């Protein structure tokens, strides 16, 4: 877990602090599958700007996730460049003006980065845009072995036969 101690930071209104931080990213569980950040620690730029009304926190980094493709279960790689921004009012009187990532003067960079990565994910993580997936009939990878089954035809033949038998 990477945190940043805000207590040591003495910024006056209008001042800005910029620092390079290595942020540890956690593996994600999505739909029962595990997605690993590679590398698990990424370089990030943390910017803290003090205004008269509050503080703006910004974090820039890029995450790369490795995990199974939603359709074919082969390896998929997902790159997400992210620019995050959070604001905390000096005298927050509602949750809107408070960032959940600052607790006891510590900014939780890992939790912030993890939530942002999750929010940035597409509905389906695919090995490639046009992944053909697995055959619903035999389970083979349709990318490696494109094929179809002529089951539908034999199915209708059986249905016709069954119908005939019922009539007799
Ligand atoms: Zn795939
Ligand atoms: Zn098949």
Ligand 1 centroid–CA 142 distance in Å is: 9
Range with the largest mean pLDDT of 7-16, 55-64, 96-105, 151-160: 55-64
The β-bridge partners of 59 are 46, 84
pLDDT of 152: 60
Banded pLDDT at 60 (limits 50, 70, 90): very high
Ligand 2 centroid–CA 136 distance in Å is: 7
Ligand 1 centroid–CA 69 distance in Å is: 5
Ligand 1 centroid–CA 18 distance in Å is: 40
Ligand 2 centroid–CA 134 distance in Å is: 8
Looking at all shown ligands, the one closest to residue 149's CA atom is 2
Whether the predicted pLDDT of 65 surpasses 80: yes
Banded pLDDT at 90 (limits 50, 70, 90): confident
- C-alpha span between 103 and 97 (Å, rounded): 14
Looking at all shown ligands, the one closest to residue 128's CA atom is 1
Ligand 2 centroid–CA 77 distance in Å is: 26
Q: Name the DSSP class of 155.
A: H
Least Cα distance to 114 among 53, 14, 29, 48 occurs for 29
Banded pLDDT at 153 (limits 50, 70, 90): low
The tokens for 56 are: 């703006």
CB–CB of 34/40 below 8 Å?
no
Looking at all shown ligands, the one closest to residue 67's CA atom is 1
Burial of residue 73 (number of CB atoms within 10 Å: 0-12, 13-18, 19+) = middle
Ligand 2 centroid–CA 131 distance in Å is: 15
Looking at all shown ligands, the one closest to residue 140's CA atom is 2
């Amino acid at each position: 877990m990477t945190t940043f101690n805000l207590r040591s930071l003495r910024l006056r209104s209008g001042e800005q602090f910029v620092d390079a931080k290595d942020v540890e990213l956690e593996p994600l569980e999505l739909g029962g599958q595990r997605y690993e950040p590679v590398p698990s620690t990424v370089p990030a730029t943390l910017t803290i700007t003090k205004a008269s009304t509050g503080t703006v926190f910004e974090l820039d980094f890029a995450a790369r996730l490795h995990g199974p493709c939603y359709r074919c279960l082969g390896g998929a790689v997902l790159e997400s460049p992210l620019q995050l921004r959070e604001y905390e009012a000096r005298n927050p009187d509602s949750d809107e003006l408070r960032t959940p990532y600052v607790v006891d003067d510590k900014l939780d960079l890992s939790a912030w980065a993890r939530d942002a990565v999750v929010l940035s994910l597409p509905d389906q993580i695919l090995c490639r845009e046009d992944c053909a997936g697995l055959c619903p009939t035999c389970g083979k990878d349709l990318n490696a072995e494109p094929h179809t089954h002529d089951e539908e035809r034999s199915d209708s033949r059986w249905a016709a036969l069954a119908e005939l038998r019922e009539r007799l």
